[in-house]
Structure 1
Amino acid sequence: SLSIYFNKSITIAEKLQNEKFSIPEAIVTRWNSQFLTVSKVVDIPNTLLNDLLNEQKKTELLLSTKDLAVLREFISIFTLFAEATTRTQAEQSISISLVGPSILAIYYDLENESRICKHTKPLCHALMTSLLARFGGFLLNLEIPVDDHVKHRNTFNLFSDDIFLVASFLDGQFRLRWIIQSALPLDTKDRLCEKIKNLVALWAFQLIGCNTDNQDGNVTQAEVTTSTVDNVLLCTKDICDGGGLTPKRKSLFSYCEAPQTESKKLRVDAMNEIKEEIMLFLKDPRYETSLIFDKKNHFPYLHRLALRVLCVPATSAPAERIFSKSGLLMTPHRSRLSTDTLSKLTFVKCNVTLIC
């Protein structure tokens, strides 16, 4: 009500502008715009706000001390939500790596807010319930306990994919810091750090398989597991020791076949190189998102993996904006555009910065 009235009243709008304040009108379809409106209202000194309302005889809009306390708690609760909404909807920057650190930070922030809030505890509990229902699968991967009744929600496993762990590691600003500096127990942090490093190594190793033995690219994640890598290491050890091998069947043109020992040795060497890259990547003093791309010659295996993983958008917002731009092109004056023409015009409009 305040924002609507203030935007309609020229007198109040001018007085606020003279004091370097403004209250943007909230957009119903964008919750973070409502958060911004409330933030701007709280930023205005209460005496100034109430004086302006008294002058206009709008006493029903006056904010009491309790009202301000409730609004401040509201802002404190939703601050991280608003930041996550804005950052994960970016178009020209990496966003998938923000998902894991954002969910973990919001989870512990809600736990903290539920302890210190006086007026908005029910809101905190409702948000926590929703968070567990939507992101419970991811939190379970971080060894955070989740009630059994929540696990039956159809949205529980939407974010249980390991890509959210791998993507955050490949982002130079996060790597393992979002785990190490979190409120997780120390032993849990150690296990998660090892788990993430092993996942990254396996995914990078899988890409080597795609580029060598499987040129068609039809290699699934399930085909490369920890046991697969262990088997490679054990087989190579047996070869070096000269034991554990069955006699090779004779065949024509056996001299044309590539020796298995060399192939397996290359795989073991590649895994060792990947693990060394991971250690060097963790020790690099730069904390920038683009680190793995700026130093792609130093981290060739991780760079190849980053090209696959970090191109995934965190939300559907970039795709939705494309439809919005198409809607602006298809106006009543241009109602006879063919599907092909509309598609081409949309492509040009969305990539005009790259074309010019």
Structure 2
Amino acid sequence: MAKKQRLQCFAHTLQLVVGDSLKETKVVSPSLSKLSKLSSLLHTSTTFKDVFDAEFGEQKGIPAAVNTRWNLTLRQVKVLLQCNHLKLCAVLEKAGHRELSFKAQEWNLLKELVDILKPFGEATDLTQGEKVITISAVVPSVLSLNYHLEKLKPQVCFLSSLVRSLQASLNRRFLGIFNVKMARTQDGVTAPFSDPVYLKAAALDPAFSLLWVEPHVLVSRDIKAEVAQQVKDAAETEQPVPFVDEKEQEDLREREGLFAAYHKRQKKDVGTTPSLQLSHYLDIAEGQNALLFWALNMKTLPSLFRVAIRVLAVPASSAPME
């Protein structure tokens, strides 16, 4: 029996994409270093904290720094930018920490950093959770992040190197998704995130369906047909198992007796082909909640339903990122 491939953790991989890119982008280091020192000062000096709180309020406290968590760094930057720049500089100078004041260029650089990383934070949050479907968001998230970075290229003023680094790392670490030819190998090595479950899950979640296959996201126009074919092939491998609801089972029990075999039983319609089911699904999928959608349509789309409940149950991330 073939060994089952273990899926990679999406949140951890995205953590590596952003973390490595931030380390490579030296221009952002001075600003983040000041932010880290400011955060540390707020958490170690009660005198400075009192002055800071008096000016900005206790709710504006900057979270403590954690070097390995870029999403916490993003949260720190967001909180910092809620402060008035000039007032913050005045508070720091008055407290004898003028060296921690942010220059206008550094302040604008941090604003640009938030614009760049905010969608990465959204993708991380979207693909985590124990009681929600997460696997279906992987492919749309990765492709949307790539498109987000592509759009930013002509707009950024300070962090063009970060945008390039993020896009290169995203393409490398999620190579299987960008190849789209899922489960294909290069030089005998399986590309990361190349398991077909990612495509099938995205396609069978009505919140995404095949709407994520757009010309500005993927170049090839043949991809949509290929993804649809993969889902149809998966559905065709399912054995047709008729659904019998509780009421029908009760009726059958009531008719049991000496001549029960002579009673004409109602025929359940399980004859629609996976191809017709897929076509119907694509027509009616328009952003519905996946769990509710498949609960309502499991009898009309039986073959697709069995594929959907299997692939959508796979978690995208193995553990939550703090």
Q: Normalising to structure 1: TM-score of the pair? A: 0.64
1:68-79 equivalences under 5 Å are 68-79=107-118
Structure 1, 113-122 or 282-291: larger mean CA deviation: 282-291
Where does residue 93 of structure 1 map in the other structure?
Answer: 132
Identity %: 27
1:89-238 equivalences under 5 Å are 89-141=128-180, 157-180=191-214, 182-185=216-219, 188-189=220-221, 191-208=222-239
Please tell me the residue identity of whatever aligns with 1:163: V
Q: Normalising to structure 2: TM-score of the pair? A: 0.70
Where does residue 337 of structure 1 map in the other structure?
Answer: none
Please state whether the residue corresponding to 2:218 is helix, strand or coil. coil
Please tell me the residue identity of whatever aligns with 2:178: L
Provide the rounded CA distance (Å) in 2 between the counterparts of 1:97 and 1:312: 9
Provide the rounded CA distance (Å) in 2 between the counterparts of 1:27 and 1:3: 11
Provide the rounded CA distance (Å) in 2 between the counterparts of 1:206 and 1:293: 21
Once the two structures are TM-superposed, the CA of residue 104 in structure 1 deviates from its matched residue by 0.3
CA contact (8 A) 2:52 2:91 kept: no
Provide the rounded CA distance (Å) in 2 between the counterparts of 1:164 and 1:47: 47
Please tell me the residue identity of whatever aligns with 1:161: D
Where does residue 6 of structure 1 map in the other structure?
Answer: 42
CA contact (8 A) 1:6 1:12 kept: no
Provide the rounded CA distance (Å) in 2 between the counterparts of 1:182 and 1:288: 24
4+ residue runs over 6 A deviation: 151-154
Q: Which runs of 5+ in 1 are unaligned?
A: 144-150, 213-268, 322-356
CA contact (8 A) 1:100 1:168 kept: yes
CA contact (8 A) 2:143 2:217 kept: no
CA contact (8 A) 2:207 2:285 kept: no
CA contact (8 A) 2:92 2:98 kept: yes
Tell whether 2:297 aligns with 1:295: yes
Provide the rounded CA distance (Å) in 1 between the counterparts of 2:187 and 2:90: 53
Please tell me the residue identity of whatever aligns with 1:84: A
Greater helix fraction, Structure 1 or Structure 2: 1
Please state whether the residue corresponding to 1:106 is helix, strand or coil. helix
Once the two structures are TM-superposed, the CA of residue 100 in structure 1 deviates from its matched residue by 0.1
Deviations 1:126-179 (A, max 9, x none): 222211221122101179xxxxxxx6796x701122211110011111001111
Provide the rounded CA distance (Å) in 2 between the counterparts of 1:142 and 1:111: 22
CA contact (8 A) 1:172 1:292 kept: no
Once the two structures are TM-superposed, the CA of residue 65 in structure 1 deviates from its matched residue by 1.1
Provide the rounded CA distance (Å) in 1 between the counterparts of 2:273 and 2:137: 27
Tell whether 2:311 aligns with 1:309: yes
Distance 1:158 1:183, change over 3 A: closer
Please tell me the residue identity of whatever aligns with 1:309: V
Distance 1:152 1:82, change over 3 A: farther
Structure 1, 33-42 or 288-297: larger mean CA deviation: 288-297
Please identify the structure whose Cα radius of gyration is greater: 1
CA contact (8 A) 2:235 2:303 kept: yes
CA contact (8 A) 1:16 1:22 kept: no
Distance 1:30 1:181, change over 3 A: same
Aligned-CA RMSD value: 2.8
Deviations 1:60-103 (A, max 9, x none): 11111100121112111111211111221222111110110011
1:230-249 equivalences under 5 Å are none
Provide the rounded CA distance (Å) in 2 between the counterparts of 1:302 and 1:285: 13
Please state whether the residue corresponding to 2:131 is helix, strand or coil. coil
Provide the rounded CA distance (Å) in 2 between the counterparts of 1:184 and 1:138: 10
